[in-house]
Structure 1
Amino acid sequence: MSTTTDKPRGGLAALCVAELVCWGLLYYSLPVAVTPISADMGWSHTTVTAALTVGLIVSALMGPTVGRMLDRHGPQLIMGAGTVIGVLALGLVAIAPNLFVFFAAWILAGFAQAATLYPPAFAVITRWYGAERTKPLTTITLVGGLASTVFAPIIAWLIDGLGWRGTYGVLAGLLAVLALPMHLFFLNRTWTDEASASAVKPSRAELRQVTRDPRFITLQIAVAIATFTLFAVTINIIPLIIERGAAYSLAAIALGLVGFGQVAGRFGYPSLERHTSTRARTVILFASGAVGLWLLAFVSGPIWLLIGIAMLTGGVRGCMTLLQATAVSDRWGTKNFGAINGVFVAPITAGTALAPVAGPALAGVLCGYPMMAVAMAGLLTLATLLSART
């Protein structure tokens, strides 16, 4: 199939730049700044990080609404407005006098995330490329996956020179200068007449026909569990490997290699797609992730082997991003994709928000990170069985 609507010249490149910047500033900036903010304001690291979690939950709740708006109005207005809201949110972080305003700023950032991060970008790519969407989806996730690599050192350098408040003022300006033009000048103002028929506001019956399909609900639950478990373990790989006897510096390198594994996994996803059916691909990835988590739970060493397993598990996690991006369109087509995919990813986004804090909390209850990995491996094994029914 050819493209489903006209692609603006430079649209994919512009969207890649916008995703790189939005992920770097609206998501990764707080993990980088958490220590100086905590030291300056007297808030615990958990409290500061919770602000990002709350914002991501808001993003999950807003996902279906943003998807419907994208289908009806096109991406320029929705993603452009989301960027403006993001600029205001980062500016509010910079001047936040107390914890209430700080949380309010990240709640506002949650609205911006819903309109600018992967789900709306995937909807645009799917509309532009139709059946040829896998390669551009891979491209945009590869670029977006570099957000922390690009912006973490820049943000740390700015904090050293300007403090965290001055840094967030600069980040608000960077978001306006780097991302807003990409959305305003390189995205469709409205969808073309060819695509307008599918952009008409769908009836509730049309949406419910898909979103209340038992297969849809089963797949939604399975992908949410898989995303949550893989993220909970890999984002906490440092304390897990330290409990196995590794030094902190080596464990930190392991976390970086997990990120490298994610990028490598995304490179390999198009080949997997060409050689497998939709259901087989889903089961293979889920089962591979479950094996990785079981190995991380029970393999006690040597450390190099644990790091290798963590990298391979990171590769599965990287593939899961692309599986999530194509799960709906592979099964139910691209009609009303924004609205349907918005419903689909809502619990997945919420799970991603909760995973970083759920991992340590569960490790505390179960007396260690290896036992936390056992629990997550069990959940992912259950999700694998569910995925076979989708």
Structure 2
Amino acid sequence: MVEVRTAPGAGFRRRVLLVLCLTEITSWGVLYYAFPVLAPSISADTGWSVSAVTGAFSAGLGVSAPAGIVVGRLLDRWGPRWVMTAGSLLGVPAVVGIAVAPSWPWFLAAWLVAGLAQSATLYPPAFAALTRWWGSDRVRALTGLTLAGGLASTVFAPLSAALLGGFGWRGTYLVLAAVLLVVTVPAHLLGLRGPWPGAPAPPEHADPGAIARSRPFLLTVAAVFLGTFCGFAVAVNQVPLLIERGLDVQTAAWALGLGGVGQVAGRALYTRVVGRLAPPARAVLVLAALAASTALLGLLPGPAWLL
């Protein structure tokens, strides 16, 4: 690990931000947003139940959470270049394994490996990279990254649906594995070059353990967990729900892609709300909007209303 005392230059910081915008759109698109579009076809082609197919995907997400602890320690020591490059390289055979899985246990195993790749390529390591390299200006960089990352479903949901018609779900995942290889591996390897600053010293008398055990922290974790569960459940089930209500795969995929536009708009709006509302009020507003939109998906009578 090499520590530096001077802040990286503006050109370097812009390059890192642009690289991570590109790789986050691609990584989220391949490792996450392609699945909701392809899941109904996977179930229909293999005979595996939708619950089993979704369970394998969910198991991968479950693996990514504890793996993130190890990834964080590796980031502190080596920086994001090697960690995110390794994650991208691991993601390629994982996606190929998903594509060629001859049975559900193999399908599950491939998603478990994909979960490891997710932990090293999605938002957490990218946020860590921008936070350390951008320093006091990190909020602007993080905002730009999340605005760009919100477009992952807008790009990859319709793309997956278009590929599905010509290649089937297995061929689509093989194409997406090639996209992951060509885009993210060289981008992380070459675009994240640079000295990695040492970790800042913790505040004097800081007690992270006491904070982690405190009632406000535990309630915040519970609220974020439930909100994230709700949001991810909507994303994963939206395409099957719309197909069940009469839409074709392509139209349902475009509907999921519109959710990405909504994410970008919501995040842009959120930046205007910051400073006008206290953090608890902002959190309640966001969670209430998520709950209301989720309820509408179940209550509205037909696909035209859902669009």
* TM-score bin (small chain): 0.7 to 0.9
- Going from structure 1 to structure 2, the CA distance change for 1:27 and 1:238 (only over 3 Å counts) comes to closer
Q: Which amino acid aligns with 2:179?
A: L
1:345-384 CA-partner distances (Å, limit 9, x unpaired): xxxxxxxxxxxxxxxxxxxxxxxxxxxxxxxxxxxxxxxx
Matched, 1:178 2:144: no
Instruction: Verify the 8 A CA contact 2:84 2:188 in the aligned structure 1.
Output: yes
Q: Are 2:169 and 1:167 equivalent residues in the alignment?
A: no
Change (3 A) 1:288 1:8: closer
Q: CA deviation at 1:141?
A: 1.9
Residue equivalent to 1:105:
110
Other-structure match for 1:198: 200
Write the letter of the residue equivalent to 2:230.
T
1:187 is aligned to 192
State the partner residue of 1:216.
217
Q: Which amino acid aligns with 1:97?
A: P
Number of residue-to-residue matches in the alignment? 295
Query: Do the aligned partners of 1:8 and 1:186 also contact (CA within 8 Å) in 2?
Result: no
- Structure 2 residue 27 is matched with structure 1 residue 26: no
Q: Distance in 2 between matches of 1:143 and 1:80?
A: 20
Question: Is the 8 Å Cα contact of residues 18 and 182 (structure 1) preserved in structure 2?
Answer: yes
Alpha-carbon distance in structure 2 between the residues aligned to 1:45 and 1:76 = 37
User: 1:94 maps to which residue?
Assistant: 99
Contact 2:127 2:142 in 1 (8 A): yes
Are residues 218 and 190 of structure 1, via their aligned partners in 2, closer, same or farther at CA, if it must alter by over 3 Å? farther
Structure 1 152/259 Cα, relative in aligned 2: closer, same or farther at 3 Å? Answer: closer
Q: 1:118 to 1:44 in 2, by over 3 A?
A: same
CA contact under 8 A between 1:8 and 1:188: conserved in structure 2?
A: no
Aligned equivalents of 2:243 and 2:99: distance in 1? Answer: 35
Q: Does 2:77 match 1:72?
A: yes
Q: Alignment partner of 1:275: what SS?
A: coil
Structure 1 spans left out of the alignment, 5+ residues: 312-390
Q: Which residue identity lines up with residue 198 of structure 1 in the other structure?
A: P
Note the C-alpha offset of 1:119.
1.5
The answer to whether the Cα contact below 8 Å between 1:21 and 1:147 also exists between their aligned partners in 2 is yes
Q: Which amino acid aligns with 2:165?
A: D
C-alpha separation between the residues in 2 aligned to 1:145 and 1:116?
15
Residue identity in the other structure for 1:270 = T
* Partner of residue 37, structure 1: 42
1:83-139 superposed Cα distances (whole Å, 9 cap, x missing partner): 111011012223322211111111000000011111211222222233433332222
Name the structure 2 match of 1:360: none
Partner in structure 1 of residue 277 of structure 2:
276
Q: Residue 241 of structure 1: CA displacement?
A: 9.4
Where 2:270 maps in the other structure, the secondary structure is helix
Equivalent-residue separation in structure 1 for 2:45 and 2:239 (angstroms): 26
Question: Residue 48 of structure 1 corresponds to which residue in structure 2?
Answer: 53
Residue 303 to residue 24, structure 1, CA distance change in 2 (3 Å):
closer
Match of 1:17 in 2: 22
TM-score in terms of structure 2 length: 0.80
Relative to structure 1, is the Cα distance of residues 99 and 172 closer, same or farther in structure 2, using a 3 angstrom cutoff?
same
Q: Which amino acid aligns with 1:136?
A: A
| CA 1:289–1:177: 2 relative to 1, 3 Å | closer
Paired with 1:87 and 1:111, the residues of 2 have a C-alpha distance of: 12
**CA-to-partner distance for each residue in 1:297-348, whole Å, 9 max, x for gaps?**
99878998x75xxx9xxxxxxxxxxxxxxxxxxxxxxxxxxxxxxxxxxxxx
1:236: Cα distance to partner? 5.3
Contact between 2:31 and 2:114, CA under 8 Å: does it hold in 1? Answer: yes
Listed one character per residue, the Cα deviations across residues 276-297 of structure 1 (whole Å, up to 9, x for unaligned) are 333343344334445x369749
Which letter maps to 2:124?
P
2:261 alignment counterpart:
260
In 2, are the aligned partners of 1:75 and 1:189 still within 8 Å (CA)?
Answer: no
Q: What residue number does 1:60 align with?
A: 65
- Indicate how the Cα distance of structure 1 residues 197 and 129 shifts in structure 2: closer, same or farther if over 3 A, else same: closer
Q: Within the alignment, does 1:125 sit opposite 2:123 as a pair? A: no
CA distance in 2, matches of 1:80, 1:293: 37
**2:297, 2:38 → 1: CA distance?**
31
Q: CA deviation at 1:62?
A: 1.3
Give the Cα separation in 1 of the matches to 2:176 and 2:213.
41
Contact persistence 2:13–2:133 (CA under 8 A): no
Distance 1:190 1:72, change over 3 A: farther
Q: Which residue of 2 aligns with 1:321?
A: none
CA contact (8 A) 1:5 1:127 kept: no
Shift of 1:53: 0.7
Matched with 1:228 is 229
Q: Deviations over 1:10-65 (max 9, x none)?
A: 11111010001101111122222223332332212222222111100101121222
How far does the alpha carbon of each residue in 1:218-255 deviate from its partner, in whole angstroms, 9 at most, with x for none?
A: 21112112222344457656898999xxx644995876
Question: How far, CA to CA, are the matches of 1:52 and 1:231 in structure 2?
Answer: 12
Write the distance in 2 (CA, Å) between the matches of 1:230 and 1:280: 19
